[in-house]
Amino acid sequence: MAEEKSKRGSIGMSLKGCQTNNGFVQNEDILEKDPDPGSPGDSRQHSAVSILGPEEPDLKDIQPYAGMPKEVLFRFSSQARYRVPREILFWLTVTSVLVLIGATIAIIAISPKCLDWWQAGPMYQIYPRSFKDSNKDGNGDLKGIQDKLDYITTLNVKTVWITSFYKSTLKDFRHGIEDFREIDPIFGTMKDFENLVAAIHDKGLKLIIDFIPNHTSDKHAWFQLSRNRTGKYTDYYIWHDCVQENGITTPPNNWLSVYGNSSWHFDEIRNQCYFHQFTKEQPDLNFRNPDVQEEIKEIIQFWLAKGVDGFSFEAVKFLLEAEHLRNEIQVIKTQIPDTVTQYSELYHDFTTMQVGMHDIVRNFRYIMDQYSTEPGRYRFMGTEAYGDSIDKIVMYYGLPFIQEADFPFNDYLTRLDTPSGDRVFEVITSWMEHIPAGKWPNWMIGGSDRARLTSRLGKEYVNIMNMLLFTLPGTPITYYGEEIGMGNILATNISESYDAVS
Ligand SMILES: [Ca+2]
Ligand SMILES: [Ca+2]
pLDDT value for 172 = 55
pLDDT value for 28 = 44
Cα(364)–Cα(358) distance, integer angstroms: 10
Same domain for 36 and 181: no
Lowest model confidence (mean pLDDT) among 11-25, 278-292, 444-458:
11-25
**Looking at residue 47, what DSSP letter applies?**
H
The CA 499 to ligand 2 mean position distance, Å, reads 26
The CA 389 to ligand 2 mean position distance, Å, reads 19
Same domain for 423 and 359: yes
pLDDT value for 375 = 82
- HSE-CB for 457 with a 13 A CA cutoff: 22
Same domain for 399 and 333: no
- N residues, the chain: 502
Residue 39 reports pLDDT greater than 50: no
Residue 427 reports pLDDT greater than 70: yes
Residue 32 reports pLDDT greater than 60: no
Same domain for 304 and 184: yes
Q: What is the mean pLDDT of residues 58-71?
A: 74
The CA 405 to ligand 2 mean position distance, Å, reads 19
Cα(162)–Cα(146) distance, integer angstroms: 12
Q: What is the mean pLDDT of residues 214-233?
A: 97
The CA 230 to ligand 2 mean position distance, Å, reads 21
Whether residue 111 is contained in a domain is answered as: no
Whether residue 177 is contained in a domain is answered as: yes
Cα(320)–Cα(434) distance, integer angstroms: 25
The CA 193 to ligand 1 mean position distance, Å, reads 14
pLDDT value for 77 = 82
> Residue 57 — pLDDT band, cuts 50, 70, 90?
low
The CA 452 to ligand 1 mean position distance, Å, reads 23
Whether residue 85 is contained in a domain is answered as: no
The CA 406 to ligand 2 mean position distance, Å, reads 23
Whether residue 208 is contained in a domain is answered as: yes
Same domain for 400 and 368: yes
Same domain for 261 and 169: no
pLDDT value for 70 = 84
Residue 13 reports pLDDT greater than 50: no
Domain count, the chain: 3
Residue 67 reports pLDDT greater than 70: yes
Q: Give the type of residue at 426.
A: E
Per-residue pLDDT reduced to its tens digit, 434-483 = 999 989 999 999 888 888 988 888 999 999 999 999 999 999 999 999 99
Same domain for 67 and 191: no
pTM (predicted TM-score): 0.78
The CA 340 to ligand 2 mean position distance, Å, reads 21
Per-residue pLDDT reduced to its tens digit, 155-198 = 999 999 999 999 997 655 567 899 999 999 999 999 999 999 99
The CA 91 to ligand 2 mean position distance, Å, reads 64
Same domain for 400 and 342: no
> Residue 50 — pLDDT band, cuts 50, 70, 90?
very low
- Three-class SS state of 381: strand
Question: Cα dist. 444→125, 195, 465, 473 in Å?
Answer: 10, 28, 10, 12
Which phi-psi region, left, alpha or beta, contains residue 138 (left: φ > 0; alpha: ψ -120 to 50)? left
> Residue 501 — pLDDT band, cuts 50, 70, 90?
very low
CB atoms inside a 10 Å sphere around CB 158 = 21
The CA 85 to ligand 2 mean position distance, Å, reads 74
Comparing 9 with 214, the larger pLDDT belongs to 214
Cα(286)–Cα(309) distance, integer angstroms: 27
Same domain for 269 and 365: no
Same domain for 340 and 228: yes
CATH number at residue 247: 3.90.400.10
> Residue 78 — pLDDT band, cuts 50, 70, 90?
confident
The residues placing their C-beta within 5 Å of ligand 1, an ion, are 133, 135, 137, 139, 141
Q: What is the mean pLDDT of the chain?
A: 87
Question: Cα dist. 3→7, 8, 47 in Å?
Answer: 6, 9, 16
Same domain for 25 and 11: yes
> Residue 65 — pLDDT band, cuts 50, 70, 90?
confident
Cross-strand pairs, 478: 124
pLDDT value for 376 = 81
Cα(336)–Cα(358) distance, integer angstroms: 34
Whether the CB-CB separation of 351 and 321 falls below 8 Å is answered with yes
Domain that holds residue 325: 215-286+321-352
Same domain for 389 and 335: no
The CA 274 to ligand 2 mean position distance, Å, reads 11
The CA 140 to ligand 1 mean position distance, Å, reads 5
The CA 97 to ligand 1 mean position distance, Å, reads 67
pLDDT value for 37 = 43
